[in-house]
Amino acid sequence: MKAKTILVITRADNPFVTRTWLKGFVRYARTAKWSVEMDACSFGRHQERRVKGMLRYFNPAGVVSSCYEEANPRIFAGIPHVLFDPPLDRIPQGETYVSHDSSHSAALAAGELFRLGKRHFAVVGAGNRYSWSRCRMDAFRSQIAAHGGTLDELELARHWSDGIAIRRQIESWLKALPRPCGVFAVNDHIAAAVISAAKRAGLRVPDELAVVGVDNDEDICGMSSPTITSIATDWEKG
């Protein structure tokens, strides 16, 4: 019997998350004896057309997609599909999806910073377009308020891959923060940018700024100096 073809559509903007959840998915696909085809979707107004082209070419029996910002999941109508970590506030009713608990990640980060004895805190978000970032910021804000801490907030004006632009934005903001301060960055890319910007601003990490990220991307966390404390998310199990 011919193996079922499952099309996996990944995002191009966070390679660590993609690699990690693919590792778990491919392990399962082998036990199910699926034939897996994979392609990436990036930002841009022509991406929905690109995804439709994938569907015509591969004619899959099923789809797993993390490409939801660029392609409406309705284009998978009639094909069994699962959305991987979609924006929870924009999922059409009846869609099947796997999602991580962003609010729990933020609560763990707050607990770590409180454990270090910080009383003033700050959070750096990835921008309003990302529901996971908003969720993490909201949960962190609630934790800080519940424990009587004070909080400053920054939303990045550019995508976190625009390294120089976001470091400039973060650097000027860090200089104005009360110190010592516990900083929660909503992912490790941003946490690394915070540490880099802090050094350029002449601030000592972790003495003046303690930084916690999310994802536990070992390459990013280990390359940073000092290394980044990060909340691990189990993408592989997802």
Residue 185 pLDDT grade (very low, low, confident, very high; cuts 50, 70, 90): very high
| pLDDT given for residue 58 in this prediction | 95
| pLDDT given for residue 70 in this prediction | 60
Task: Kindly tell me if the per-residue pLDDT of 160 is higher than 80.
Answer: no
Look-up of token digits 């609010």: 103
Distance CA 20, CA 1 (A): 30
Task: Kindly tell me if the per-residue pLDDT of 39 is higher than 70.
Answer: yes
Average pLDDT over residues 19-36: 92
- What is the DSSP pairing of strand 81-84 with strand 120-125? unpaired
Distance CA 90, CA 2 (A): 36
Distance CA 23, CA 21 (A): 5
pLDDT digits (tens, 9 = 90+) for 69-109: 666 778 888 999 999 888 777 777 888 999 888 889 999 99
Q: What is the pTM of this model?
A: 0.86
Q: In Å, how far are 131, 177, 180 from 94, measured between CA atoms? A: 19, 44, 47
Mean pLDDT of the chain: 89
